[in-house]
Structure 1
Amino acid sequence: MNVLYTARALATGDGRDGQARTDDGKLVVDLASPAQMGGDGNGTNPEQLFAAGYAACFHSALRVVARRAKADVTGSTVRAEVDLGSIGSGAFGIGVRLEVSLPELDAEEARTLVDAAHQVCPYSNATRGNVDVQLTLAAAGVAA
């Protein structure tokens, strides 16, 4: 891989109940386990950070493939949902659902772009074969 950029972050405290910060200080977040997992929920959590990162990265990849295809992605959005669950033997795993909205495109063109973005997106490439990623269109002609 030809490295174009390296992000650096440090987590401190008690893992899910601590703090994370980037080396440049642009991101500093308090971490807290979600209430659904017995935490106080008074901070963000790794799944929320992953969801935000995946949504932004996928949206960027979508815009790249749309530009190549000369497709109109005005008003496009990507919503990510990241599930955390038990996968047996005391281990945990995640699942991802991406809902893409492409209001200026018909469903067939939207699906083609979403599938192409899934091949380009670094998060999709990192999770492929290891994490179940479901891609849906927000509505006919609106999302993929």
Structure 2
Amino acid sequence: MTIQKPQYTAHATARGKGRDGQVSSDDDSGLQLRLATPKSLGGQGDGQNPEQLFAMAYAGCFLTALQLAAGRMGKVKEARNAVVHANVHMGQATEMDDLGVAVDILVEGIADQALIDAGHEMCPYSRALKHGAVVNVSKA
């Protein structure tokens, strides 16, 4: 998936020891976090990890898409009290000899599956995972 013209670009920087380093973003009000490997992966678990951050971002994005879809479908009331739970799983990938990621999205407070499906189709995170996203990697 490609985009024509970026409307917003988030900037983030990672430093230190990867999963046990630091991440920061100077956008808007800024954010700085200390990363820590989860206990389940042999770490101390005394900080945030990339999967937590991805799950939080995906949940927020999906909720926004769900509410936008509800507006377009004339179902604003149905989405008013929706809650989105994102579970990001990391483990051994079956297709390769390395780690992989799987995601479960659970929508609470909405019984209308067509509305949930419309939110999924509209969510940029869902589309990126379903259709792929352009990732450009280069030296700075």
Q: Which TM bucket (shorter chain)?
A: 0.7 to 0.9
Cα distance, 1:23 vs. partner?
A: 2.4
SS in 2 for 1:16: helix
Letter paired with 2:130? R
RMSD: 1.5
Residue 124 of structure 2 aligns to which amino acid in structure 1? P
- TM-score normalised to the size of structure 2? 0.84
Query: 1:87, CA displacement in angstroms?
Result: 1.3
User: Distance between the aligned counterparts of 2:117 and 2:87, measured in 1?
Assistant: 18
- Other-structure match for 1:97: 104
The answer to whether the Cα contact below 8 Å between 2:67 and 2:80 also exists between their aligned partners in 1 is no
Could you tell me which amino acid in structure 2 is paired with residue 46 of structure 1?
P
Asked whether the 8 Å contact 1:62–1:114 carries over to 2, the reply is yes
Which ranges in structure 1 are unaligned for 5 or more consecutive residues? 131-144
Q: CA deviation at 1:102?
A: 2.5
CA distance in 2, matches of 1:41, 1:58: 27
Using the alignment, how far apart are the partners of 1:120 and 1:66 within structure 2?
11
Per the alignment, residue 136 of structure 2 pairs with none
Residue aligning to 2:11: 8
1:19 aligns with 2:26: no
Q: TM-score, normalised by structure 1?
A: 0.81
Fraction of identical pairs, as percent = 42
Tell me, yes or no, if structure 1 residue 83 matches structure 2 residue 89: yes
The structure whose residues are more often strand, as a share, is 1
Tell me, yes or no, if the aligned pair for 1:10 and 1:23 is still in contact at 8 Å: no
Question: Which structure 1 residue ranges, 4+ long, deviate > 6 Å from structure 2?
Answer: none
Deviation at 1:3?
1.1
**Which ranges in structure 2 are unaligned for 5 or more consecutive residues?**
133-140
More deviation, 3-12/20-29: 20-29
Match of 1:40 among 37, 44, 67: 44
Check 1:128–1:58 CA distance in 2 against 1; reply closer, same or farther (3 A cut): same
Contact kept in structure 2, 1:19 and 1:31, CA below 8 Å: yes
Q: How many residues align?
A: 125
